[in-house]
A and B are shown apart, each in its own frame.
Chain A
Amino acid sequence: MIGFVVRRLLQLIPVLLVASLGVWAMIYAVPGGPVGMLVGENATPEQIKAVTAQFGLDQPVLVQYAAWLQKAILGDLGRSIHTREPVLDLIAQRLPATLQLGLAATLVGLVIGVPVALASATWPGSWLDRGLSLWSALALGVPTFWLGILLILFFSVEMRWLPSASGYAPLLTSPAEALRNLLLPAVTLGVYVSGIFARFLRAALVEEMKADYIRTARAKGVGEREVVGRHALRNALLPFVTIVGLMLANFIGGAVVTEAVFTYPGLGRLLIQAISTRDYPLIQGCILVILVIYVLINVLVDALYAVIDPRVEYA
């Protein structure tokens, strides 16, 4: 088991190396390059020379990359051009908000998606099934930013129940405030993933229903709802865990649009701000951190899959 996780982590190294090379090289594609970015447009040749030497930009390219990577691995992602704060601190401030929203949205997605899938798979081909698959199609097709706007229009502008701009309040210390702020963004994202969850779990259940043990259970006289809800569900849940994990990974940074709709202070919004102010160290840092978390969650999900399902070989 540990060997399996270690092997999967080792396989990640080339992907992360190439990706980090890409992130690092970003700065060289910027007009004026890294020097231009540091000294501004009106710098004298002497200033340019001084900065070039100071930041080691006269070194060979691979030496520069190695130095940058070494620092990045040790947690030094440089400083923001605008606030001069360490990039890692800025990211660490946003991470709890992003994780909280991601978990809440996944929860909403499961609460809607799993019952929808169970009902559909119990009576496949029925009117209920068709109606529910229409729900999945809508959940996947309606853009999150439009759904978010509609929710704000109704719950904030018309009814004045919930704030239209969400702040971040930690769920553990101030739960009421956190729920008020989380509800609309979490529902917006949750509706979208509920479509993915429902569609995937329904397909897995229907596939599972063809198995011999299901026929045996029916032959024993087990009711249809129990056949689906207990026998098939247990086996269909295994691949489902993968999808849930992937979606959670997707929300680390991938929730940028929903964060923008609700002006929610997450990692995605930090990245947007960094891009609009051309704060390249911050852009690099955000992308690198999101990338590493995203890829690590993917490996964890694989490992978890192997833990839950004893039939999966670790090789």
Chain B
Amino acid sequence: MSAALIRHVLRRPGALAGSLFLLVLILVAVFADALPIDPLGQDLIASLEPPSAAHWFGVDELGRDIMARVVYGARTSLFTAAGAVLIAGAVGVPIGLVAGFFGGWRDALLMRFVDVLLALPGILFAMAMIAVLGRSQAAALVAVGVTGIPSFARVTRAQVLSLRKRDFVAAVEAFGGTATYSMFRTVLPNAWSPILVQVVVLSSVAILLEAALSFLGVGIPPPTPSWGEMLRTGKAYLHDAPHYAVLPGLVLTLTILSLDAIGRALAGALEQRQDVSVGLGASGGRP
């Protein structure tokens, strides 16, 4: 990512605030072990106590510090987002590249496969996969990743289709460049910008989806701290300890809003710079 692009994105106040929030979140998640917090230590007498100087986010039903669990939950969320986007990109980008570059039967076959993935709302598809794979951290990661394949495939394909008609691609072919060379060395390097936007958008979708799965009780199994799981348990204590569900939910919401703001700013900046149309698929819905 070029410095000019970063400057362009950070000029938007929403994207700037979002970047700062995410930076803090990432730092805290990475250096969680060095912080004076303990996500598993129990102080049963303090159970469900509201936020205080000792426990900024209050205490959960087992006497654990909620802020510590939110910090370690950030690790879970960020790890899931990174892993899921990696899975979705590693499968979706080559599908879109081949489908768009060759067209014909390869395109028809690959895109029908993508259609099948879209035959269910993403969360149901993920739930069905977890029903088969069993509930585990790996299952959650794969399930969330697979639901992201269609967006990468479609965005890449659309970009490749428009690049294929450009003169510089025709020139490579005229000079005898092979299809593989043309695809990976000429087309793909020029198709990265909408894919980059998709990385940001899908990170947000992945974090939300993992939280939703955990909220439903089918995501990453306890005792791994997860924001969705905290909301699920916290919901049972709305009368006695409203902070329990509200504060982890607030951090989750701010994370999603930050990523969305960065994604929009990035899409806007890229659309201004070059005439690419970037489909911003709304989280969950189909574009």
Contacts and interface: CB of A to CB of B under 8 A. Distances in A.
B209 to A, nearest CB: 10
A254 B123 contact: yes
A92 to B, nearest CB: 19
A15 B112 contact: yes
Contacts of A280: 131
Interface of B is mostly: helix
Which interface residue of B133, B235, B238 has the most chain A CB atoms within 10 A?
B235
Which interface residue of B115, B124, B204 has the most chain A CB atoms within 10 A?
B124
A143 B123 CA distance: 13
B211 interface: yes
A266 interface: no
B249 A271 contact: no
Interface in A98-156: 137-138, 140-143, 145-146, 149-150, 152-153
Contacts of B128: 23, 26, 283, 287
Contacts of A272: 127, 216-218
A26 B124 CA distance: 14
A234 B270 CA distance: 31
A22 B235 contact: no
B120 A287 contact: yes
Given A271-B127, A275-B218, A143 B212 contact: yes
A272 B261 CA distance: 32
B10 to A, nearest CB: 18
A260 interface: yes
Nearest to A139: B282
A256 B282 contact: no
Contacts of B264: 137
Contacts of B260: 137, 140-141
A232 interface: no
B106 interface: no
Interface string B120-139: 11011001101111100000
B257 A137 contact: yes
A257 B215 contact: yes
Interface in A166-209: 195-196, 199
Contact of B130 (A138, A153, A260, A275): A275
A52 interface: no
Given A15-B119, A275-B127, A276-B217, A141 B249 contact: no
A135 B246 CA distance: 20
A131 B257 CA distance: 15
Given A26-B128, A149-B238, A256-B124, A138 B257 contact: yes
The interface size bin for chain A is 35 or more
Contact of B212 (A145, A157, A164, A199): A145
Given A145-B212, A146-B253, A294 B245 contact: no
Contacts of B257: 137-138, 141-142
Contacts of B286: 246, 250
B67 interface: no
Interface in B183-242: 204, 208, 211-212, 215-218, 228, 231, 234-235, 238-239, 242
Given A149-B231, A275-B218, A143 B284 contact: no
A268 B112 CA distance: 26
Given A15-B115, A157-B239, A254 B121 contact: yes
B132 A26 contact: yes
A246 B215 CA distance: 25
B27 interface: no
Which interface residue of B14, B112, B121, B260 has the most chain A CB atoms within 10 A?
B121
Interface of A: 14-16, 18-19, 22-23, 26, 29-31, 137-138, 140-143, 145-146, 149-150, 152-153, 157, 164, 195-196, 199, 246-247, 250, 253-254, 256-257, 260-261, 268, 271-272, 275-276, 278, 280, 283, 287, 290-291, 294-295
Shortest 5 CB-CB contacts between residues of A and residues of B: A254-B121, A146-B249, A141-B257, A29-B132, A19-B119
Given A149-B234, A149-B246, A157-B239, 20 more contacts: A15-B119, A26-B131, A141-B204, A141-B253, A143-B252, A145-B211, A145-B231, A145-B249, A149-B231, A149-B235, A195-B282, A254-B121, A257-B216, A261-B235, A268-B124, A271-B127, A272-B218, A275-B127, A275-B131, A287-B128
8 contacts: A23-B128, A137-B260, A146-B250, A146-B252, A149-B235, A157-B242, A256-B123, A290-B124
